[in-house]
Amino acid sequence: MRIVIGSDHAGYELKMQIKAYLEAQKYAVIDVGTDSATESVSYVDYGRSAAEEIVSGRADRGIIVCGTGIGISIAANKIPGIRAALCTNSFMAEMARRHNDANMLALGGRVLAATYAQTIVETFLTHDFEGGRHQKRLDSLE
């Protein structure tokens, strides 16, 4: 599975910790930036860049991080075909995959500890979409 990962400056440190975890688990990781925790950048640019990797088919799923996860999830969801879910626990991540077929996970670098975020990421990446009654709902979003 190819995972795109991106963040603004506020999410940089958590992004790097998640990236290391993903690489240790043998996922192919595409990092669209940013490359600094100190240079202020816009979450919009990195949310959009990560989302474009998914809609182009270069990545299967994405993980995006800003200070709270709110702004970057809004930015990513502006791209047609993206279903970015801001999750603060593993249950939310599981439901985002099983019921909503979320293709991006948004996290808050200023609100989640790295080890806790790692469990959310693991849950997001190991659950599949259930389809069935949930597919009708997704179809109505298009």
Q: Which residues does the annotation mark as catalytic?
A: 66, 99
Rounded CA separation 25/12 (Å): 20
As separate numbers, helices (DSSP H) first and strands (DSSP E) second, the chain gives 6, 5
Report cis status (omega within 30 of 0) of the bond before 34.
yes
* Strands in the chain per DSSP E: 2-7, 28-31, 61-66, 84-86, 104-108
Contact assessment for residue 83 and residue 135, using Cβ atoms and an 8 Å cutoff: no
